[in-house]
Structure 1
Amino acid sequence: MRDPVIVAATGQTYERSCIQQWIDGGHTTCPKTQQHLNNFTLTPNYALRNLISDWCAKNDIEEPTVYANGKIKKSDGSFRYVNGEIGAIEVIVRKLSSRSIEDCRAAVAEIRSLSKRSTDNRILIAEAGAIPVLVKLLTSEDRQIQENAITAVLNLSIFDDNKRIIMLADAIPSIVQVLRAGSMEARENAAATIFSLSLGDENKILIGASGAIPALIDLLQTGNTRGKKDAASALFNLCIYQGNKGRAVRAGIIPALLKMLTDSSSCMVDEALTILSVLASHQEAKAAIARASTIPVLIDLLRTGLPRSKENAAAILLSLCKRDSDNLASLCRLGAVIPLTELAKSGTERAKRKATSLLEHLRKSQQHSTRS
């Protein structure tokens, strides 16, 4: 938080640029408490600003980049004056709202280009108020405008402070709309934007509840290679949050991942295994993985996969078989002992640990069956 301010009406603290965008967007309630704002006075939170500065100094961390009074603070503590640059960018941002399609196309293409070049540009474009306007352009019927707008939002999201502004601009529903119905390039960049925004834990929750997961699974199945990889990255990130795992299972992620594992032309085996490894600890996902006959596929990967694939397959099988006698019995019945024994001897260090633990579970299960 580079410029914390207190909303006088509620006493809540926000990043100045974020809350200003919220107010400028016509909102009359506090984003956190939903309390009606009787006034829109913003007071600098000097105490929090000093705490941030002290913490950065003690931990030898560079303070967040600051734009104020026409200048940007550089990493060496000096300032770079950017009045001319911000003025030029403001002119382009105003053209984003032009009634002329040609002017709008040219402006959003220029913002896309500028946002790709540097962090300073990403700061200045956000300061010029471009993000709420770009979010509106995500639903444009003009495919060129939509593609450039979603790519610009993706570029801007690289700067962490801009992630908050994008979320406050209520961008997620529009990004999901692009993900569902845009051109392939727009869908790819929408998935990449969701990945970028979902790096924040709170955002994982909001994005998961937005309908993004089914749209990402569809791209995972129907996209080109880049689209599939962007969708896989976003789904992995979202499924780190426990509440999104059930959503992904109900949206059909397990059959989609199984197809990626069994398709000989697929180049997505590692991505599929990585997502499965995150899901396998969730009870609903665990049951769905077993029902989909994934265990035989994982055992086959223990025999024939690359070292990383063997490692991930062993980790998933271990999660599936902990405290689950039926899945353990399946391992024995399907001949997993031999490849697990080989992996415990010659696999990666992590693979050795997982394989050894699985073999121990199998041994205990067999002893228990014998006593019974």
Structure 2
Amino acid sequence: MGSGKQRWKISFHKSPSPLKQQIPAEFLCPLSGALMADPVIVASGHTFERSCVHACVSLSFHPTLAGAAADFSAIIPNLALRSTIVNWCLRHHLDPPTPLAFYSAEKIVRQLMPPASSVAEYNRTPSVGSSEESVTPRLTPPPPLLLTTRPSCYSSSSSSCDIEITSSSISLEEEELYSRKMKSSQIHEQEEALISLRKLTRTREDTRACFCTPRILSSLKSLIISRYSNLQVNAAAVLVNLSLEKQNKVKIVRSGIVPPLIDVLRGGCSEAQDHAAGALFSLSLDDQNKTAIGVLGALPPLLHALRSDSERTRHDSALALYHLLLVQSNRVKMIKLGAVQMLLGMVRSGHMSGRVMLVLCNLAASAEGRAAMLDGGAVECFVSLLRCEEFESEESCVAALYGLSYGGLRFKGLAKECGAEAVVEGLERRGSSEQAREKCRRILEVLREKHEEDEDVNWEELLGFNDDLTKYTVTGSSS
């Protein structure tokens, strides 16, 4: 073991260690360059670290070594080499190597990929605003659509799937095999099962329906919150794929898997959070799930995820909130969370304004939401945004302002104060769509409508400058 001083001396030694120079070349993975903890032999005869093989398969990358391209159609554990490496480490007083995490292996493999193929992989054409597989993020994502039906962590790669699916159903034996592997005490067996399931459920609708069984969902439920990030990521990705089938959505929520998803969204690794947000968005598309997901506590972490460092997590969280807020009980919960001020702040700063405006539109559809937004300065905020002709989410902004126009005299007073009529009038003439122009016409009707009580309205008092009188009036009317 050596003394503490010796260990510090080794840690800070800058020249290459003589011992490292003596490591046999066959002990090192040709891709990662590190000692192999779990070496496997592939069909072409090459030996790699297992996680590097999985990363190559996921990215459809076939490295060429000694003039021959690697063939990953078969993977066999190299138990003899693994034992030799462990014995060598023990003889040299070294700790045996630990398996390389899939996420780290994926980063290494991407660096080895040729620039052309890397760009092609990262910029696949999306289908319906998102994509079709949950493995590879894009370098330059397409402009976000207002509404999509698939999570942005799901990217299209049907042509690169290495597994040929020959049957549209699975046998009980296959289900038992996957379930047993996912419940195995061996991490590499769990990972193998998840990666295989991830690929099988990636492009075939009938396969996704067949694998959404209580036994499979129960196994996924425990792995989604695994302390091993690669298990966490792949389990969440499988769930995203399964959730794409309409017939699976209610079944997944009733399996009790939403609370673990929420835990991952709160504190999982970054890529797992991407998939957790995507799964919650996908599940929220079914009307039967909306109330249940809100009751189970998804709203606070989804709201917090709008400020995530990951663009995919932000966008899918916003869309999940949009669909969940089609239910009145969830709108009330969001108001109690103090979400309005946070959302308005994001819109003012230009942070995800398009998606956030969709969320605000749904909040404006309820009396509680309108009251909170009027108190939070939403009218002035929206009118100032609409004054800017380059504002990209003009139609959503008009829709939110239209929702607020049901706020009665309070809305009229705030709109008058910030000069909304002239702005809306201009939009009514040059609106981007007939639907937006129609909403502008209705807002103008509200602003120009005359009532007897309008004649003697004290706007300062109405706008809240006399709080005592307002409180008295509210108390008197309620009694």
- TM-score range normalised by the length of the shorter chain: 0.7 to 0.9
Alpha-carbon distance, 1:85 to partner: 7.1
Alpha-carbon distance, 1:204 to partner: 0.5
Q: Matches of 1:315 and 1:247 in 2, distance apart? A: 22
Alpha-carbon distance, 1:83 to partner: 7.1
Given the alignment, which residue of 248, 258, 266 partners 2:334?
A: 248
Partner of 1:53: none
Partner of 2:424: 340
Q: Matches of 2:200 and 2:321 in 1, distance apart? A: 29
Residues 1:301 and 1:82: Cα distance change in structure 2 (over 3 Å)? closer
- Percent same amino acid at aligned positions? 29
Q: Matches of 2:331 and 2:316 in 1, distance apart? A: 18
Partner of 1:277: 361
* Residues 245 and 282, structure 1, Cα contact 8 Å, conserved in 2: yes
Q: Matches of 2:442 and 2:203 in 1, distance apart? A: 49
Partner of 2:243: 157
Alpha-carbon distance, 1:370 to partner: 3.5
In structure 2, give the amino acid aligned to 1:164.
Answer: V
Partner of 1:311: 395
Q: Matches of 1:127 and 1:359 in 2, distance apart? A: 54
Indicate whether 1:190 and 2:276 are aligned.
Answer: yes
Q: Matches of 1:219 and 1:84 in 2, distance apart? A: 37
Residues 1:278 and 1:305: Cα distance change in structure 2 (over 3 Å)? farther
Partner of 1:370: 455
* Residues 86 and 128, structure 1, Cα contact 8 Å, conserved in 2: no
* Residues 208 and 238, structure 1, Cα contact 8 Å, conserved in 2: yes
Alpha-carbon distance, 1:88 to partner: 4.6
Given the alignment, which residue of 436, 441, 453 partners 1:351?
A: 436
Gaps of 5+ in 2: 1-165, 458-479
Q: Matches of 1:185 and 1:272 in 2, distance apart? A: 22
Q: Deviations over 1:155-200 (max 9, x none)?
A: 0111222223312321111111111111121112111111111122
Indicate whether 1:360 and 2:445 are aligned.
Answer: yes
Indicate whether 1:134 and 2:235 are aligned.
Answer: no
In structure 2, give the amino acid aligned to 1:280.
Answer: A
Q: How do 1:164-243 residues align onto structure 2 when only pairs under 5 Å count?
A: 164-243=250-329
Given the alignment, which residue of 106, 124, 130 partners 2:192?
A: 106
* Residues 335 and 368, structure 2, Cα contact 8 Å, conserved in 1: yes
Residues 1:277 and 1:83: Cα distance change in structure 2 (over 3 Å)? closer
Residues 1:124 and 1:356: Cα distance change in structure 2 (over 3 Å)? closer
Residues 1:183 and 1:81: Cα distance change in structure 2 (over 3 Å)? closer
Residues 1:368 and 1:353: Cα distance change in structure 2 (over 3 Å)? farther
Q: Deviations over 1:217-250 (max 9, x none)?
A: 0001234221110000100010001110011122
- TM-score, normalization: structure 1? 0.72
Q: Matches of 2:167 and 2:228 in 1, distance apart? A: 36
Q: Please state whether the residue corresponding to 1:109 is helix, strand or coil.
A: helix
Q: Which has the higher helix share?
A: 1
Q: Please state whether the residue corresponding to 1:295 is helix, strand or coil.
A: helix
Flag the structure with larger Rg: 2
Partner of 2:231: 145
Q: Please state whether the residue corresponding to 1:324 is helix, strand or coil.
A: helix
Residues 1:349 and 1:99: Cα distance change in structure 2 (over 3 Å)? same
In structure 2, give the amino acid aligned to 1:325.
Answer: L
* Residues 278 and 316, structure 2, Cα contact 8 Å, conserved in 1: yes
- TM-score, normalization: structure 2? 0.57
Q: Matches of 1:302 and 1:154 in 2, distance apart? A: 37
Alpha-carbon distance, 1:323 to partner: 4.5
Indicate whether 1:117 and 2:203 are aligned.
Answer: yes
Alpha-carbon distance, 1:150 to partner: 0.8
Q: Matches of 1:350 and 1:269 in 2, distance apart? A: 20
Q: Deviations over 1:3-54 (max 9, x none)?
A: xxxxxxxxxxxxxxxxxxxxxxxxxxxxxxxxxxxxxxxxxxxxxxxxxxxx
Alpha-carbon distance, 1:366 to partner: 7.8
Partner of 1:28: none
Q: Matches of 1:289 and 1:90 in 2, distance apart? A: 52
